[in-house]
Amino acid sequence: MMASRRQEVLTAALDLLEEVGIDDLTVRRLAQRLGVQPGALYRHYPSKRALLDAMVGHIVAGAPAPAVPAGDWAGHLRAMAASGREGMLAHRDGARLLATFYDPGPDAVASFMRIVEVLRAAGAAERAAVVATDTVLAYVNGFTMEEQARRAATPRPERDRDFQAGLDLIIAGIGATLPPAP
């Protein structure tokens, strides 16, 4: 196991997030849950902000790596979109947390580039591929934010269907700008 104390603090913070939500995620509450004085946490993270960043890092890293169907650009787009949404929905206030504290690292840039590559392989021009990728990601973030903030009442299957339907709209738009398959 060999979990460093730093890791334990992070895990406790993620658990606490699930219990009380981000607005009540306080240094003191976290310290209490660890059976420790508030100041002790600053041995492991230099600030609360740094801790939140680490939580965000854990969330984006934990998103399920999609099984890539080679050559199927629409499938790739759908998988990436679903994975991004899933990562946020998996944690209470996940979307808000990402929106507020996410600073894209090299791995995020890498997966962005991978999508662009897939679209380029399907025949899209460089700029068109970037625009399409940007658009899908903006949609995923916008939809999920709104979903988590204001649609907790709507049953999950319905939300899934709505998300899918909007994504299909965008994919149709992208498909129209692509050269026809040979």
Partner DNA sequence: TCCTAGAGTGAACTTTGTTCACGTGAACTA
Partner DNA sequence: TAGTTCACGTGAACAAAGTTCACTCTAGGA
Task: Enumerate binding residues for a copy of itself (CB under 8 A).
Answer: 96, 99-100, 104, 131-132, 134-135, 137-143, 145-146, 149-150, 162, 165-166, 168-174, 176-177
Determine if 28 is a binding residue for DNA (CB under 7 A): yes
| Least distance CB 61 / DNA (angstroms) | 22
| Least distance CB 27 / DNA (angstroms) | 3
The amino acid present at 98, given as its one-letter code, is L
> Could you give the CA distance from residue 175 to residue 14 in angstroms, rounded to a whole number?
39
Question: Is residue 57 within a helix (H) or strand (E), and if so which, with residue range?
Answer: helix 48-62
Determine if 27 is a binding residue for DNA (CB under 7 A): yes
| Least distance CB 146 / DNA (angstroms) | 25
Answer whether 97's CB lies under 8 Å from 54's CB.
no
Burial of 149 by CB count in 10 Å (0-12 exposed, 13-18 middle, 19+ buried)?
A: exposed
- Binding residues (CB under 7 A) for DNA: these are 4-6, 24-29, 34-40, 42-44, 46-49
